[in-house]
Amino acid sequence: MKTYKQPSSVGRFGEFGGMYVSETLMPLLLNLDKSYKKIQKDKKFRKELNDLFKNYVGRPSSLHFAKNLSKYINGPKVYFKRDELNHTGAHKINNCLGQILLAKKMGKTRIIAETGAGQHGVATATVCALFGLPCYIYMGSKDIERQKPNVFRMKLLGATIIPVESGSKSLKDAMNEALRDWIKNVRDTFYIIGSTAGPHPYPKMVRDFQSVIGKEAREQILKAEKKLPDYLIACVGGGSNAMGLFYPFLNDKKVKIIGVEAAGRGAKTEETAATMTSGTPGILHGSYSYVLQDNDGQIKEAHSISAGLDYPGVGPEHSHLKDIKRVKYFGITDKEALEAFQTCSKLEGIIPALEPSHALAYLIKAFKNKHKNKVVILNMCGRGDKDLFTAAKAIGFDVDE
């Protein structure tokens, strides 16, 4: 394999990606791309970001050898890259800090964001509080209902939550509304997209900011095991935590990489979010990538127990990595994820978010009694506090006051 160099200057990952937006947004994206290129070379910006990573987020996040889970699986040595220990409880903060520093440099005075599970919303509200910028979060009303703790967190942090009632009332629709807001308020507003989705330069920019995960993991595993891992596993919704872990390893041919999607009630059912297993290439939110769509190109509603994976699209780089067969993608159902959620809590004393529970479920299912002497890094990209109500309801435990 040649050295991996994606995307192209116009934001293409192979044939995927691009900028499919109206002329009201196009000049803004081109301007954003230019500003992003500029700050990439800016040492002061890097230093500022690294300081925040270290002192505000608590990076580097640790690489934990999950001894009990490894024993239970009776297969490979499993390491957790513990981005759930970050300030705000998930990997999302890495990207938000990068983008808000960029927004400041560009002189923007108002921040908007979309959120599904609420993790990106919380992370955005957090950095807005830190930098003293007004923050508006678009969130599907269905997600507001199932992620109440995060809604309260965002409010505490001073953000305004704008409920989205259109479409499926979840992440996809929140993103539509945020894009509309941006079109309306182009001059003063910076849109912090939370995943490696959307039009160029977002997929690249978000990946770059998140790749701190993989860079650290690489160093840490070399130290712990004196070799590179045999496998990387991460969950994929839009795909930012996965790209963050995968990207620094893409040129290491021997490292096998697995992305785990949410198959909802089953990848072959209508109630799924497994875009790459059940979808076809199409255009959603300004980017050409795999999407769940019907024969007329109407985007279907996704379904997953995990609000963070409940998205009918996926980042274009994942579509590319699937097509060049560098990463393999599998689906895990709600039920399987919920079981892994409980298994991990009991065995490791770590309550994972429902998103990485999908990655855990795949690991337990596919590696059981197999791949001994191998080393796996799983991205523990979020903690489960936000999911307690959803999980309790699904398991049948009464948590109402």
Q: Does 282 bind another protein (CB under 8 A)?
A: yes
Q: Does 163 bind another protein (CB under 8 A)?
A: no
For 366-381, give the secondary structure using H, E and C: HHCCCCCCCEEEEECC
Q: Which value, in Å, is the radius of gyration of the alpha carbons in the chain?
A: 19
Q: Which of 223, 226, 254, 295 binds another protein (CB under 8 A)?
A: 295
Segment 20-79, which members bind another protein (CB under 8 A)? Answer: 20-24, 26-28
Residue 316 interacting with another protein (CB under 8 A): no
Q: How far is the CB of 122 from another protein (least distance, A)?
A: 25
CB 136 within 8 A of CB 177: no
Residue 297 interacts with another protein (CB under 8 A): yes or no: yes
Dist. CA 271–CA 126, nearest whole Å:
33
Q: In angstroms, rounded to a whole number, what is the distance separating the alpha carbons of residues 372 and 74?
A: 7
Strand ranges (E), 153-214: 160-164, 189-191
Does position 308 interact with another protein (CB under 8 A)? The reply is no
Tell me which residues in 105-134 interact with another protein (CB under 8 A).
none
Out of 211, 293, 357, 379, the only residue in the binding site for another protein (CB under 8 A) is 293
Whichever of 111 and 284 has its CB closer to another protein, that residue is 284
Q: How far is CA 130 from the centre of its chain?
A: 22
Binding mask 181-210 for another protein (x = CB under 8 A): --xx-xx-----------------------
Angle between helices 119-131 and 148-156 (to 10 degrees): 10
Nearer to another protein, 186 or 228 (CB): 186
DSSP 261-304: EEEET-TTSSS---HHHH-EEEEETTEEEEE-B-TT-PBPPP--
- The string over 152-168, giving b where at least 16 C-beta atoms fall within 10 Å of a residue's C-beta and e elsewhere, is ebbeebebebebbeeeb
Map tokens 């002497």 to a residue.
373
Q: Applying CB under 8 A, which part among 36-44, 227-235, 289-297, 388-396 lies near another protein?
A: 289-297
**Cα 123 to Cα 365: distance, rounded to the nearest angstrom:** 32
Which of residues 168 and 357 has its CB atom nearest to another protein in the complex?
Answer: 168
**Which of 284, 338, 344, 354 touches another protein by CB under 8 A?**
284
Using the rule CB under 8 A, which residue among 17, 18, 244, 259 binds another protein? Answer: 18
Q: Among 229, 286, 308, 331, which residue interacts with another protein (rule: CB under 8 A)?
A: 286
Q: Which is nearer to another protein, 41 or 187 (CB)?
A: 187
Quick one: 187 or 254, whose CB is closer to another protein?
A: 187
Q: Where does this chain bind another protein (CB under 8 A)?
A: 10, 18-24, 26-28, 166-167, 172, 176, 179-180, 183-184, 186-187, 282-286, 293, 295-299
